[in-house]
Structure 1
Amino acid sequence: MTRIKLVVSDVDGTLLTHDKVLTDGAKEAVGRLHAAGIGFTVVSSRPTIGMGFLIEPLSITLPIGAFNGSSIVDAELRPIEQHLIEPAAAQRSLDVLRAFGVDIWLFSNERWYTRNPDGEYVPHEKRAIKADPTIVDDFAPHLPEACKIVGASSDPALLQRCEAAMREAVGTDATAVRSQTYYLDVTPPGHDKGTFVDAMIKRLGISAAEVATIGDMENDLPMFARSGFSFAMGNAADDIKRHATHVTDSNERDGFARAVETMLQLG
Structure 2
Amino acid sequence: MSKIVFLDVDGTLIDYEAKTPASAKKAVDQARKNGHKVYICTGCSKAEIEQRDLPELDGMIGGNGAYVEDAGQVVMHQGLSKEEVQKIVDWCNERKLGFYLEANSGMYANEYMKEQGPIVMQKYATGKGADEASAKASANSFVNGFIFLENEDLYREDVNKISFILSSYQDHLDSKEAFPELVANTWGGKGEQALFGDLGPTGITKKHAIEVLLDHLKADQADTISFGDANIDLSMFELCHYNVAMGNGGEGIKAAADYITDDVNEDGLYNAFKYLKLID
Q: Which of 100, 103, 109 is residue 108 of structure 1 equivalent to?
A: 103
Cα distance, 1:91 vs structure 2: 3.9
Q: Which of 13, 16, 36 is residue 14 of structure 2 equivalent to?
A: 16
Q: Look up the match of 1:127.
A: 141
Q: Distance in 2 between matches of 1:108 and 1:125?
A: 20
How high is the sequence identity, in percent, across the aligned residues? 20
Cα distance, 1:170 vs structure 2: 1.7
Q: Which of 154, 171, 189 is residue 162 of structure 1 equivalent to?
A: 171
State yes or no: 1:31 paired with 2:29: yes
3-state SS of 1:120 partner:
helix
What is the 5 A alignment of 1:1-267?
5-52=3-50, 58-60=55-57, 62-76=58-72, 79-94=74-89, 96-98=91-93, 101-116=96-111, 118-122=114-118, 124=138, 127-128=141-142, 132-139=145-152, 141-153=154-166, 158=168, 160-171=169-180, 173-181=181-189, 182-264=195-277
Q: Distance in 1 between matches of 2:6 and 2:253?
A: 17
Cα distance, 1:261 vs structure 2: 1.7
Q: Tell whether the 8 Å contact from 2:68 to 2:74 is kept in structure 1 after alignment.
A: yes
Q: Distance in 1 between matches of 2:24 and 2:229?
A: 16
Give the RMSD, CA atoms, in angstroms. Answer: 2.8
Unaligned runs of 5+ in 2: 119-136, 190-194
Unaligned runs of 5+ in 1: none
Q: Distance in 1 between matches of 2:152 and 2:234?
A: 31
* Partner AA of 2:238 in structure 1: A
* Partner AA of 1:41 in structure 2: Y
User: What's the CA shift string for 1:198-256, capped at 9, x where partnerless?
Assistant: 12221222222210001112221111111011111111111121122221112221212
Q: Tell whether the 8 Å contact from 1:20 to 1:128 is kept in structure 2 after alignment.
A: no
* Partner AA of 1:120 in structure 2: Q
Q: Distance in 1 between matches of 2:140 and 2:209?
A: 26
Q: Tell whether the 8 Å contact from 2:101 to 2:159 is kept in structure 1 after alignment.
A: yes
Cα distance, 1:189 vs structure 2: 1.6
Q: TM-score, normalised by structure 2?
A: 0.79
Q: Distance in 1 between matches of 2:52 and 2:154?
A: 31
Q: Distance in 2 between matches of 1:257 and 1:169?
A: 43
Q: TM-score, normalised by structure 1?
A: 0.83
Q: Distance in 2 between matches of 1:51 and 1:238?
A: 26
User: What's the CA shift string for 1:54-109, capped at 9, x where partnerless?
Assistant: 68x5232x331111120123444x64421121344334434554465531111232
Q: Tell whether the 8 Å contact from 2:18 to 2:138 is kept in structure 1 after alignment.
A: no
* Partner AA of 1:65 in structure 2: I
Label 1:209 to 1:141 Cα distance change in 2 as closer, same or farther (>3 A): same
